[in-house]
Amino acid sequence: MAALSPPNAAFLHDIVLTTLRNVTLLDFWADHLTGGKHLDHRTRWLLRIGLCQLFLLGVPSHAAVNETVAAAGRSGALVNAVLRRAGREEAALRSMSEEQPLSVRYSHPEFLVRRWIKIMGKAKTEALCQWNQEPPSTYVRLNGLHEEASTRLAQMPELEDLGDGFYRCEAAPREALKQGLCYAQDPSTAHAPRMLAPKPGEMVLDACAAPGGKTTLLAELMCNEGRIYACDASSVRLARLRDNLTRLKVRIAQVNAFDLLSDATPPFGDLQFDRILLDVPCSNSGVMRRRIDVRWRLQEAEFASLAETQKSIVESALRFLKPGGSLVYSTCSIDPEENQGVVKAVLASHPEMEMLESRLVFPPKDETDGAFAARLVKHA
Ligand SMILES: C[S@@+](CC[C@H](N)C(=O)[O-])C[C@H]1O[C@@H](n2cnc3c(N)ncnc32)[C@H](O)[C@@H]1O
């Protein structure tokens, strides 16, 4: 197959992502236009794609209809009739959808909308759903361990300096990323390493480290002095972690496979750490703007099972923390069950631990991805 031209590739990318982001809304229109008739899989996707172009991407009607009909094969007549009718009834279809519940208007699973309304009320839920419907910005973090990074990035007018080492850009700056001048990362990812605040010369454990976005910032905060054990249960992900650490000039990290929930002997023997970062696996409910798949694969029961795993991970890691040391627990979830709930459960069974601070980043308010971080200290 011939490669697409860059504008066509960008257009295809837009169609795919906008369709996936709006599936429920597109189905609402398709079902209304077909009288709720059963549609085979292919026809349904063609209608979703056609309606997406017509109503959400502003593609001229003749182009959206003709191209979709041309791809339709034997369901061409139906697709043609439905899309032409959609064009004629656009205003009515739009005003009907405005009367629909948030789960339809913003294409989110019903259970999630119900859960969020219970947690944060309707106004914040709507703001969050609305936030998740926009394409995400691309951000990079300057790599302070690269001696030329500040000068070189300052010479790139395509980067908008946001302060604190972060830049926003239209497209990822491939060459600068390849040379390790910066790392593609949302600003919300910096809160946990900064909250941990490791100092040069300290012993640090980053126990869920791959692919290493936070490890590289920890090394930068430590001025590449001291030691970081960067471990992860997934050996596949360790390969990317190693590449990232090398490219970003991290010299103080020791990379090892280690599953905190296994009985294996730790790769660092009986070492105890000044600081531990636990950036645990989570529902990703704070990054749903960036990761469209999340809303469609998440199941309600997962919140409780994730919270169990997260609590076990923290409890396992506590044995490696020195008395007087700090541990930062972090997620890219905005769900209290995975955040405050886990911290509360850990504190209840560990009187030697105390929480000194916590921060929840809420996307519509902070205008970044969502995240949570809490700093716990172990009494000496
Ligand atoms: C949110 S990601 C970490 C992202 C990473 N900190 C970064 O900033 O690039 C969570 C990681 O935890 C790892 N993980 C999951 N269960 C684990 C366990 N039991 N022990 C250690 N690592 C685990 C996963 O393989 C995954 O790489």
**Of 280, 278, 290, 282, which is closest to residue 186 (Cα–Cα)?**
290
Q: Are 134 and 106 in contact (CB under 8 A)?
A: no
Across the range 107-117, mean pLDDT stands at: 98
State whether CATH 3.30.160 applies to domain 136-184.
no
Q: What percent of the chain has pLDDT over 90?
A: 98
Query: Quick one: fold of 6-100?
Result: N-utilizing Substance Protein B Homolog; Chain A (1.10.940)
Least confident range of 35-39, 230-234, 243-247: 35-39
Q: What is the pLDDT of residues 35-80, one digit of tens each?
A: 999 999 999 999 999 999 999 999 999 999 999 999 998 999 999 9
Which residues are paired to 378 by β-bridges? 353
Confidence check: pLDDT of 1 > 80: no
Residue 363 predicted with pLDDT over 70: yes
CA-to-CA distance for 204 and 88, rounded, in angstroms? Answer: 63
279 annotated binding-site participant: yes
Q: Closest residue (by CA) to atom 2 of ligand 1?
A: 281
Tell the residue nearest (CA) to atom 25 of ligand 1: 234
- Cite the residue boundaries of each domain of the chain with CATH code 3.30.70: 136-184
Q: Which of 284, 278, 280, 279 is nearest to 334 (CA)?
A: 284
Q: What value does the mean pLDDT of the chain take? A: 97
Q: Using one digit for the tens of pLDDT, what is the confidence trace for 280-299?
A: 999 999 999 999 999 999 99
For residue 380, what pLDDT band results from cuts at 50, 70 and 90? confident
Q: Round to whole Å and give the CA distance between 226 and 251.
A: 9
Domain with CATH 1.10.940.10 in the chain: 6-100
Q: Whose CA is nearest to atom 10 of ligand 1?
A: 281
Q: Where do you find CATH 3.40.50.150 in the chain?
A: 187-378
Query: Lowest-pLDDT range, 60-69, 119-128, 331-340, 366-375?
Result: 60-69
pTM higher than 0.80: yes
Q: How far is Cα 114 from Cα 125, in angstroms, rounded to an integer? A: 9
Alpha carbon of residue 168 to chain centroid: 16
pLDDT of residue 139: 98
Average pLDDT score over residue span 347-359: 98
Model confidence over 188-224: pLDDT tens digits?
Answer: 999 999 999 999 999 999 999 999 999 999 999 999 9
Coil, strand, or helix at residue 349?
Answer: helix
CATH numeric code, 187-378: 3.40.50.150
ipTM for the whole complex: 0.99
> Phi and psi of 336, rounded to 5°?
-60, -30
Place of tokens 């809303």: 295
Atom of ligand 1 lying closest to residue 210 CA: 27
Pocket of ligand 1 (CB under 6 A): 189, 207-214, 232-234, 237, 259-261, 279, 281, 313
What average pLDDT does range 99-120 have in this prediction?
Answer: 98
Residue 17, pLDDT score: 97
Q: Is 8 helix (H, G, I), strand (E, B) or coil?
A: helix
Alpha helices in the chain (DSSP H): 6-21, 23-33, 41-51, 61-72, 76-88, 90-98, 102-105, 110-132, 149-154, 174-178, 191-196, 213-221, 235-247, 293-297, 302-318, 340-349, 363-366
Q: What are the CA-CA distances from residue 116 to residues 125, 172, 280, 325 (Å)?
A: 6, 32, 22, 35
